[in-house]
Amino acid sequence: MIFDKPNTVELLDAVKHFLDTKIKDEVAPHLAFKLRIVENVLSIVIREIETGNDLSQEVISGLKKLVESETANIEELAHLIRDRKIDLENPELKNLLVQLSKNKIAVDNPRYSTYKKLIEST
């Protein structure tokens, strides 16, 4: 990258900090609720920048093994299931769907109750 510091995550962190410390207490209650959503959105973007690539690659490499194709992608898997061209009872398929869902939530909302439950049980 040719860009100077701060990097994207550092910039977003600064915006989050500003909203949290300078704006949060200044806005009306119905906007405070929306402000929390805005901060959550920034957190999603930060997590995706930091971990999104690894989380995606982990799922894609499992998928390539499952369907024995080097070019496989998530959309293709969805179509294989739609058309029942893959055995729906295959334990490896079920494991991959769990992995996919866990890796998505790890970016979208790692505090989600079911995610915490599944992390603690493994």
Partner 1 sequence: MKQELSEHLSDKLAKESITGEILNLQPLTGGASKEIWKFEIKSKDSISKFILRRGSGIEGPLAIKTSDEALIQKNVRELGACVPEIVAVSSVDEPLGDAYVMKFVEGESIARKILRDDEYRAALTNLAFECGESIAKIHQADITDFSFLPKKTVMEQINELYKTYVSFDQPSPVFEYTYHWLQDQDFGDLNDTLVHGDFRLGNIIVSSEGLQSIIDWELAHIGNPLQDLGWICGNSWRFGKINKVVGGFGDLDDLLRGYNSISEYQVTENNVKAWQVFGTFRWGVICLIQASAHLTGAVNSVEKAAIGRRVSETELDIVDLLFSEGNNDI
Residues lying near partner 1 in the complex (CB under 8 A) are found at 29-30, 33-34, 37-38, 40-41, 44, 74-75, 77-79, 81-82, 84, 88, 94, 96-98, 100-102, 104-105, 108-109, 112-115, 117-118
Min dist. Cβ of residue 1 to partner 1 (A): 25
Residue 90 CB, shortest distance to partner 1, in Å, is: 11
Whether the CB-CB separation of 79 and 46 falls below 8 Å is answered with no
- In whole angstroms, how far apart are CA 53 and each of 82, 90, 91, 102, 113? 26, 27, 25, 14, 24
Nearest residue (CB) to partner 1, 3 versus 113: 113
* Cβ contact 38:19 at 8 Å: yes
3 state SS of 121: coil
Nearer to partner 1, 4 or 83 (CB): 83
CB of 5 to partner 1, least distance (A): 27
